[in-house]
Each structure stands twice: as C-alpha cells, then as structure tokens.
Amino acid sequence: MWELSERKPFITGNWKMNPKSRTEAIDLAQGIVNCIKSDNKSDVGLFVPFPFLDSVKNVVGDSIIVGAEMVTPELSGAFTGGVSPLMLKSIGVTLALVGHSERRTINKETDEDIHAQCRILVEQEMNVILCIGESLEEFEKDLAPAVCAVQLKKALAGMTAEEVTSHITIAYEPVWAIGTGKVATPKIAQTVHETIRGIVRDMYDDDVAARIRILYGGSVTPDSVDGLLSQPDIDGALVGGASLSSNSFGRIINFQPPSRRRRALRRIRRTLLFWRQ
C-alpha cells in the first residue's frame, strides 16, 4: 500500500445545480482561486453546470481543473438535451463526473449507462471521476464491499490497466451521507477505501491498485476533512455543499491532517515559551 504522500491528493467540488447565475458562478470561482495557498500540494477540481463551464474555466486558468457533471455516451446525433465528449473537448474540458448517486437515483442511470459513459470518455482520451457507493440499507446490512465491487466491475468492464491508471479516479460516496450532513468516521471511510483498493487489485494488479486515487465523497466539511485525509487510502475528496462557499472549500483544499496540525501547535508552544523566558 502506498502512503497518501505518494498519490497526489485531489480535492474536487461538485456544484450540482448551483449557483443561480453566471455572475454568481464567476464570483464563486474567483473566490475559490483566491483561497488556494501558494504552497498547495493538491490537484483541485470543480464540476460545474454546463452553462458555466467556459466562464469558470476563464476565471480559474490553470489553478483548477474544470469538469462536467455528466456526459451523454454518444458523439453526436438525435439526443435532445445531450452533451457529448466532443462538445466538452471543444471548449477545453477533459474531465467528467460519472455515476454520481443523484444521477443513479434521480435520473435512473444504470450500471450499463455508467459503463458507457466511462468507455466513451476514455476512448476520447478524457478523464473520469467514477462514483460508487451504497445506500443506508445496504450499509446497515454490511453490503458496502459487495455493492462497490459490482459497481466498479461493471463500470470498468473491458478497460485495460493502462486506461484505468491514466484516466480513472474513483470517488466513494456512501449514499446515506450525501446531503444529509452525516459523514462516515475516518475509520469507516478508510475501511471501505481499503476494500475498494483491494477490488482494483483483484481486477488488475498491485501497481494499478497502488496508483489509482480514491476520493471520499460523503458530506465532506472543513471540520471533517483533516481526519479523513489523514487516512492512508483516502486520496482526496469530492465535496458537495461546502464547495459553494469559497471559504469552506478553501479550507478543505488547504486541509491539514492531524499529525501536521500537532506539529504546528508544538511549534507555536515552543515560540510562546521562548518569548516568556
């Protein structure tokens, strides 16, 4: 198992159907950029509604990777309301979110739909954050490993190790924690992430399992991020509501695992003792 430091952290925000206007989107994006510290060591991404993609990209430049919240698994044709990978690539968007729990439940996307989206994005040399996760009922019945295994195997069916390591990031989002304010403890989240990495290892090999990034996506907040990101198999976060506040999302981007926080506090104490002498 690689340590977190060997897989670059990836902090992403999913704006869903927010904000209400282009002006608000631009202001929010600029506020987030302003919050990123110069010594930030993470990749940062934002999934924004289609109408705001171009505007947000112009604001954030190279500091944030801007992605689409979904994609239609077709290149063109009579698909009213659809947005193809080619359309996204034409405006410089090369990242898309696939399989989010809301798309699975509200839009009734099936495992087959999600596989088709992953497949066409990878074929177009685009990158994917693939969401998997269990419902509350499934979690309470200890079915999280089985649910994640089925979703992962169906989504990545037929993909090579090179395709997965080059284009796929996994986001574990326990459905029972989405929009509820509930969050899995770092211990629970780590256990599932370790299981997911094991599933990838069984599907491919140790190298793929060691290289793939697995993000946690269950109501991540400024208060919970440090504990979650201190776990060895949690490589970042997929953030919902907190990404709509530049201050909150900025705090998450600039996360500080407890071990680093303790060292900082010790330095402060030593400084205070020095000046008291």
Task: Report d(CA 26, CA 28) in Å as an integer.
Answer: 5
**In the block, which residue shows the tokens 């112009």?**
58
69, 100, 134, 193: the active-site residue: 100
Residue 100 designated active-site: yes
One of 102, 109, 134, 173 is an active-site residue; which one?
Answer: 173
Q: Is 193 a catalytic residue?
A: no
Return the bridge partners of 131, or none: 171
Q: Compute the distance between CA of residue 260 and CA of residue 190 in angstroms, rounded to an integer.
A: 19
Are the C-beta atoms of residues 36 and 29 closer than 8 Å to each other? no
**Tokens in use for 46?**
């934002």
At residue 10, φ and ψ (nearest 5 deg) are -130, 110
| Sequence-ordered strand ranges (E) for 100-143 | 127-132
Beta-strand pair 10-14/95-98: unpaired
Catalytic residues: 100, 173
